[in-house]
């Protein structure tokens, strides 16, 4: 885990509500405290059924608040005192019931009152059974929470305490910590060198015709912009794309797979991170005609030859940067993506559905690493870009 001085002297109020994922809050507090964050834990009485305040007190080094009225607090009103002191409130786990209370603006216990009385950002990490998550009532509440400016961290998908498999699991403590890190550190990638490929490649057949694909470059450009905004030194090798070059990014145009390979290889030295978003043609025509092909035959056969796999070559360099691949599939998404991750020896691959992602402003992706699958909620590509970079930072 990277050291991040921006976390020292920050104070975070961690709310824990009643759910089996409350056990993960213990590890989260340990990571937050270790990073130098001042953590004040507030629990609902239901949370105390799952994990004891004594555990949370021992890990945070401070008494835990549960009750609304507490004579040990200066003005006897912890909801005012505690929300004044926090730079951010994180509720993890946030139960379906608690999310509903937030939507309604209820204040019938200390934690909900604190959330209502806050003047700092609120982050929530939902945790519930998949049916509860999918219920239209919960989904309505999620839409409203987002509209109210509350940030959702997760949920994750996978095996649940009830034995079912699906979306609703709370993110792991490490992932939550990475997102808190990103929240406190707008310049999370300060000084890091990041190389990115984006867009479609063009394999010329003759001077006016080419083999290409539907990639718009939006995802790669959004990652380049987000990385630059996070303080990284960014080089973007762009294939065909109609987008304007991102700000504060060294953008190099390279339209064929071969040109992209050369541009990447001459810039890869000393890079910390390589993110291969471009939809690179796997093949190019054996012959590139100097003059326009005339239609003077009844059929035409194009002979193709394979292009070099840029990502695989970068990942196998002796001092390879941290490599992130993208897998755009139309079927068997996770299985195909994980197979590509292993074949190319990548620590991380981003799986997305080609027909859903290509050209769109939004995307829903699953990050695959050695710990398994981490689905990200459907979101604008600009948001996906930040979450991906926060995940990369947590893995560096």
DSSP state of 168: E
189 binding ligand CTP? (CB under 6 A): no
The single residue among 282, 342, 378, 396 that binds ligand CTP, judged by CB under 6 A, is: 282
Task: Confirm if 384 and 222 have CB atoms less than 8 A apart.
Answer: yes
Task: Confirm if 23 and 48 have CB atoms less than 8 A apart.
Answer: no
Minimum CB distance to ligand CTP, residue 172 (Å): 25
Task: Confirm if 200 and 241 have CB atoms less than 8 A apart.
Answer: yes
Q: Which is nearer to ligand CTP, 303 or 331 (CB)?
A: 331
323 binding ligand CTP? (CB under 6 A): no
Specify burial of residue 90 (Cβ count, 10 A radius: 0-12, 13-18, 19+).
buried
Q: Which is nearer to ligand CTP, 172 or 338 (CB)?
A: 338
112 binding ligand CTP? (CB under 6 A): no
65 binding ligand CTP? (CB under 6 A): no
4 binding ligand CTP? (CB under 6 A): no
Distance CA 302, CA 209 (A): 12
258 binding ligand CTP? (CB under 6 A): no
Question: Which of 48, 120, 162, 323 is the catalytic position?
Answer: 162
Kindly give the residue spans of alpha helices, DSSP state H, lying in 63-118: 78-85, 96-104, 110-116
222 binding ligand CTP? (CB under 6 A): no
Task: Confirm if 215 and 278 have CB atoms less than 8 A apart.
Answer: yes
Minimum CB distance to ligand CTP, residue 344 (Å): 7
Specify burial of residue 201 (Cβ count, 10 A radius: 0-12, 13-18, 19+).
buried
DSSP assignment of 231-273 equals: T-EEEEEE-B--SPPPTTEEEEE--SHHHHHHHHHTT-TT-SE
Which residues between 355 and 394 bind ligand CTP (CB under 6 A)?
A: none
Tokens of 293: 């092909």
278 binding ligand CTP? (CB under 6 A): yes
326 binding ligand CTP? (CB under 6 A): yes
Those residues with Cβ within 8 angstroms of residue 339's Cβ, 6 or more apart along the chain or in another chain: none
257 binding ligand CTP? (CB under 6 A): yes
Q: Which is nearer to ligand CTP, 327 or 392 (CB)?
A: 327
Q: Which is nearer to ligand CTP, 203 or 229 (CB)?
A: 203
The single residue among 179, 263, 280, 376 that binds ligand CTP, judged by CB under 6 A, is: 280
Minimum CB distance to ligand CTP, residue 267 (Å): 14
325 binding ligand CTP? (CB under 6 A): yes
Minimum CB distance to ligand CTP, residue 359 (Å): 16
Minimum CB distance to ligand CTP, residue 249 (Å): 18
Residue 151, preceding bond cis, omega within 30 degrees? Answer: no
Minimum CB distance to ligand CTP, residue 260 (Å): 8
Tokens of 322: 């941290």
Is 162 labeled as catalytic in the residue annotation? yes
What's phi and psi for 299, nearest 5 deg?
-145, 160
Specify burial of residue 370 (Cβ count, 10 A radius: 0-12, 13-18, 19+).
exposed
Task: Confirm if 198 and 274 have CB atoms less than 8 A apart.
Answer: no
The single residue among 307, 352, 366, 394 that binds ligand CTP, judged by CB under 6 A, is: 307
Q: Which is nearer to ligand CTP, 117 or 265 (CB)?
A: 265
Interacting residues toward ligand CTP by CB under 6 A: 197, 257, 276, 278, 280, 282, 307, 309-311, 325-328, 340
Positions marked active-site: 162
């Amino acid at each position: 885990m990277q050291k991040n001085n921006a976390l020292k002297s920050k104070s975070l109020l961690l709310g824990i509500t009643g759910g089996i994922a409350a056990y993960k809050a213990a590890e989260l507090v340990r990571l937050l405290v270790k990073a130098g964050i001042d953590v004040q834990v507030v629990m609902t009485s239901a949370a105390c059924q799952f994990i004891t305040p004594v555990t949370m007190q021992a890990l945070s080094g401070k008494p835990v608040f549960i009750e609304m009225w507490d004579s040990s607090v200066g003005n006897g009103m912890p909801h005012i005192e505690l929300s004044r002191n926090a730079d951010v409130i994180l509720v993890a786990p946030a139960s379906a019931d608690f999310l509903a209370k937030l939507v309604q603006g209820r204040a019938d216990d200390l934690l909900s009152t604190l959330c209502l009385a806050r003047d700092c950002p609120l982050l929530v990490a939902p945790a519930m059974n998949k049916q509860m998550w999918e219920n239209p009532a919960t989904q309505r509440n999620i839409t409203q929470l987002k509209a109210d400016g509350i940030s959702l961290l997760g949920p994750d998908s996978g095996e649940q305490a009830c034995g079912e498999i699906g979306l609703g699991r709370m993110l792991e403590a490490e992932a939550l910590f990475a997102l808190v890190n990103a929240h406190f550190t707008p310049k999370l990638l300060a000084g890091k060198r990041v190389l990115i490929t984006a867009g479609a490649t063009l394999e010329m057949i003759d001077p006016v015709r080419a083999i290409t694909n539907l990639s718009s470059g939006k995802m790669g450009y959004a990652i380049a912009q987000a990385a630059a905004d996070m303080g990284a030194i960014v080089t973007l090798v762009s294939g065909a794309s109609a987008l304007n070059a991102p700000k504060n990014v060294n953008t190099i145009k390279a339209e064929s797979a071969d040109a992209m390979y050369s541009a990447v290889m001459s810039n890869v030295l000393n890079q910390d991170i390589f993110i291969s978003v471009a939809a690179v043609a796997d093949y190019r025509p054996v012959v590139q005609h100097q003059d326009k092909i005339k239609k003077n035959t009844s059929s035409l056969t194009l002979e193709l030859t394979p292009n070099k796999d840029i990502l695989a070559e970068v990942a196998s360099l002796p001092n390879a940067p941290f490599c992130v691949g993208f897998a755009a599939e139309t079927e068997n998404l996770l299985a195909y993506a994980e197979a590509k991750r292993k074949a190319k020896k990548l620590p991380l691959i981003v799986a997305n559905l080609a027909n859903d992602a290509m050209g769109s402003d939004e995307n829903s992706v699953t990050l695959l690493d050695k710990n398994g699958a981490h689905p990200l909620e459907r979101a604008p590509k600009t948001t996906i870009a930040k979450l991906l970079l926060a995940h990369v930072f947590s893995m560096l």
